[in-house]
Amino acid sequence: MPLYDCLFLVKPHVRKESLMDLVARVGIQAYERNGVITDVKSFGTVQLGYGIKKTDGRYYQGQLMQMTMMVPPSFNQELQYLNKEDHLLRWLIVKHRNAVYGLEFINEDEGKDELSMFRSGSLFNKGDNEDDDDDDDDGDEEYDVE
Amino acid sequence: MMRRIALQKELLRQPSLCGLISSKQVLPLFFRHQSFRTDNGNSGRNSDNSFESSDDFERRLFGDISNNEINDSFYRKLDKLEKAHGRSGIGSKLNSDDSRIIDGISDSFNSLSDGMDEKLKEAARTFVFSDEIHDENYKFRPDVTFYPGMTYTTRDLDLTKPGVQKRFKRNEFETTTQEVLKKADFRNVRFLSNFLTEAGIIIKRSKTRISAKAQRKVAREIKTARAFGLMPFTTMGTKPFIFGRSMKDEAEDYEHQHNTASTATDP
């Protein structure tokens, strides 16, 4: 599942409760799709580049919220209902292009460890220690289970 | 004004004179003759020196060594050259005066008597100016405009050289490709607004001086921010976009515009 940023630009006069309600609803949707929410951020009130015209007038300010989450790519389709949302001025979903996922992420870490082991010059000792630790851990778990 | 310029010219010639002197130091004899000649320049030139008796010469040179005639003809040539260069009046007097300083070592002759030394010293120490400096439009260098915060070299103040109008570099926004690739994001409006003109147009790459990749990224992020409402598509006919300021036309904005008598008031 790719990492996405979901941004909501809400009308300035909207109360905090209804704003949180809106964000929470999207969060629940993400969880329903087995997604993970990694971050929720508020940018506060921001000045807009131009007046956004809605049925109830022009808006020159907005409250900006950002939600970072890992959701399936089809999640965008499910958010289309936000277009009919009354409090929203704009909403946007963008993918993190430089994010590293899954096996690549793990491999990257292992590579780093290997390099550090070479640098220390005590490759074998370190490996032995790690093995010992692993064995110990396994033993502990077994005892716990018993 | 004129007096001052003349003085400056004179002072500017000094370094070249110093150069001459240092090169001359190798030949102390040369000086003595030259100083002598320049001092009595007119009389010496009028009388035909080549046919003068060597005794006369020795007397005039306070019992100097022989082969004066050769030297004399040589110095006469030098004098002519000097004339041809248009170095006369103060220039030649200066020359004599400077050579006298070195001449003092052998104290065969000195030109202290003419009082030029004091005059020159005073000229070097005093800066003559008139009441024009109190004038409101007074400019030391009228052909060059110096802006506050601008740096200049001593060469820029040299009035004998034509003024080179430097283009004043306003502290404009400058960035590097690395910085752009790191910071450019449609949420970072503060950074991206540097890439917009007053009218809200994206600044081209030849001006931003960043790589094509970085410029594409900037343009993409600005366009995303525009669509999201964080940045303007255009600000033509409205007030310019400044980060953190409302684009709404407020009463105080109009007041400001009226105060500055600006004609660019929008309806």
Of B200, B226, B248, the CB nearest to A60: B248
Identify whether the C-beta of residue A100 lies closer than 8 Å to the C-beta of residue A108. Answer: yes
Token reading at A75: 């999640």
Sign (positive or negative) of CA dihedral A130, A132, A135, A141: negative
Angle at CA of residue B181, ends B178 and B187, nearest 5°: 135
| DSSP string computed for B170-196 | -------HHHHHHH--TT-HHHHGGGB
- Rounded CA separation B230/B102 (Å): 77
Q: What is the pLDDT of residues B163-199, one digit of tens each?
A: 776 665 566 788 899 999 999 999 999 999 999 999 9
- Rounded CA separation B214/B177 (Å): 6
Angle at CA of residue B256, ends B253 and B261, nearest 5°: 130
Residue A68 forms contact with B (CB below 8 Å): no
Type of residue at A11: K
pLDDT of residue B265: 44
- Residues of chain A with C-beta less than 8 angstroms from the C-beta of B200: 49
Q: Which of A101, A84, A83 is nearest to A36 (CA)?
A: A101
The answer to whether the CB atoms of A48 and B226 lie below 8 A apart is: no
Token reading at A92: 């946007």
- What number of CA atoms fall less than 13 Å from residue A59's CA on the CB side? 23
Q: Which residue of A has its CA nearest to B228?
A: A90
pLDDT of residue B251: 59
Identify whether the C-beta of residue B124 lies closer than 8 Å to the C-beta of residue B116. Answer: no
Q: What is the pLDDT of residues B61-94, one digit of tens each?
A: 554 454 555 555 566 666 666 666 554 444 444 4
| pLDDT in single tens digits along all 146 residues of chain A | 899 999 999 999 999 999 999 999 999 999 999 999 999 999 999 999 999 999 999 999 999 999 999 999 999 999 999 999 999 999 999 998 887 777 777 776 555 555 555 555 555 554 444 444 444 444 444 444 44
Q: What is the pLDDT of residues B192-207, one digit of tens each?
A: 999 999 999 999 999 9
The answer to whether the CB atoms of B247 and A51 lie below 8 A apart is: yes
Burial class (CB in 10 A: 0-12, 13-18, 19+), B265: exposed
Interface test with B, best of A6, A7, A50 (most B CBs within 10 A): A50
Q: Which of B36, B45, B42 is nearest to B96 (CA)?
A: B36
The answer to whether the CB atoms of B226 and A49 lie below 8 A apart is: yes
Residue A123 forms contact with B (CB below 8 Å): no
Q: How far is CA B265 from CA A18, A27, A58, B163, B243, in A?
A: 39, 47, 20, 40, 21
Residue B243 CB partners (closer than 8 Å, separation 6+):
A47, B189, B190, B193
Q: Which of B35, B41, B27, B59 is nearest to B107 (CA)?
A: B35
Q: How far is CA B150 from CA B133, B142, B172, B174, in A?
A: 21, 16, 14, 18
